[in-house]
Every structure is written in structure tokens, then in C-alpha cells.
Chains A and B, each alone.
Chain A
Amino acid sequence: EADIYQTPRYLVIGTGKKITLECSQTMGHDKMYWYQQDPGMELHLIHYSYGVNSTEKGDLSSESTVSRIRTEHFPLTLESARPSHTSQYLCASSEYKLGLAGGLKYNEQFFGPGTRLTVL
């Protein structure tokens, strides 16, 4: 079944450690996104990608980095985790499709289940 997968789902780690949050999608989408969200609170876009070898910074400044070497894979890396990085990280994907009347239509943005990160 087409979906977005994130691993790990929960991570507790000490300050200074390097971590990589994995995101994979089997939707065949070009666009992928990373959001940071405290539970039930505002969604902050931290990174996005138009496609392979494309990465852009989002609206919220983040010390994390991303890469997009394969269409289906969009990992997020923190070189040195700090307590201020404690949050939930949501991965998402989408694409444009040709509309019935012509022109491009933005398709639904699907979210992954999230990774809840705690940095001690």
C-alpha cells in the first residue's frame, strides 16, 4: 500500500549525539517536506525538496540538514542534538497533477506518522 514511513517513531538521545531521522514514501511523489511540531501545536516547515538533488530551507530556521539522493527517500540529520531540538518531526509528500480542465493542480499533501525526538 502506498504510504509514507518514518523511523524511528520514538527516539531518546543524549546531548551532542548525531542523529538521522528516516523518511521514505512509496507514493511516487516528487515533493517532500519536513515539519517540526510540538504536539497539537503549529506546523513549522523546516526543509523541502522539489525532487532528486533539490533541497530548500523552510520558514523556520533549523540546525538540521537534509538530502534527496533518491525520489523516495528524504532523511533529516542533526549533527549535534540539543535539548532545544526536542519535538515531533513530521515528513510529508505531494505532487502536481494535470487538472481535468488543463493546468497543474497541487495534489493532497500526505503526512507520515512522525518521529518524536527527546534530547536529554
Chain B
Amino acid sequence: GENVEQHPSTLSVQEGDSAVIKCTYSDSASNYFPWYKQELGKRPQLIIDIRSNVGEKKDQRIAVTLNKTAKHFSLHITETQPEDSAVYFCAAMSEDFGNEKLTFGTGTRLTIIP
């Protein structure tokens, strides 16, 4: 089955600086990679996702890059703000019909220092 590793487990950055969270996956059949943000006491929410037919996707201050050869993908947050403080989870799955579940990473607790 799929195995997703996520680093670092905790990350503190100064407000305005950039934050990068990295994940690696094991199953070369995986082709869908979402990122979820979970604020304290709240439910996880999708912030961005990428499929294996593209190498990069951007949405305002958030971007995700994917390297299929190396089997790793990263989340980049630029110009960080206090509201970016949360736990971030990466995940991976194959969209081939019949594979119905996401495999999540262990999470990164991001703290933005004002």
C-alpha cells in the first residue's frame, strides 16, 4: 500500500517569510495529491491539490510542486500571515477506479511568529 512521509513535523517562521513543507510517497501509481489545513479545533479543509499531469499549481500565496520521478511533492506558502498558523496534512492516492482512500502524511504544525 501507499506510504506518505511528511517533514518537518513542526515549523516556525517569521511573519512575511516563506514556509515549505515536503512529502514523499512510495506508490508510483499515485496520481492525486491534496493538501489539507486544520486550524485549532476545526475540521481539515482542502487548500490545494495537484494531479500528476502537471508539475506545479499555484493559488495566490499557496503553491504545490510535484516531482514524479523522485516521488515527492511540496507545499509553498509565501508572505506568511498569522492566519496561516495551523496543522497541514499532505495526502496521496491513485485515482484509478477502485482505490477509494487517501493516505495522509503525519502532519506539520506551522506557527507564524508575528
Contact = CB atoms under 8 A, between A and B. Distances in A.
Nearest to A31: B100
B100 A104 contact: no
Given A40-B40, A40-B87, A96 B97 contact: yes
Contacts, number: 52
A106 B43 contact: no
Interface residues of A, number: 24
Nearest to B51: A105
A12 interface: no
Given A40-B109, A45-B101, A111 B95 contact: no
Contact of A43 (B1, B89, B109): B89
A48 B99 CA distance: 11
Contact of A106 (B32, B38, B89): B32
Interface of B: 1, 32, 34, 38, 40-46, 49, 51, 87, 89, 93, 95, 97, 100-104, 106-107, 109
16 contacts: A31-B100, A33-B101, A40-B107, A42-B106, A43-B89, A50-B100, A59-B1, A90-B43, A103-B95, A105-B51, A105-B95, A106-B32, A106-B95, A108-B34, A109-B34, A114-B43
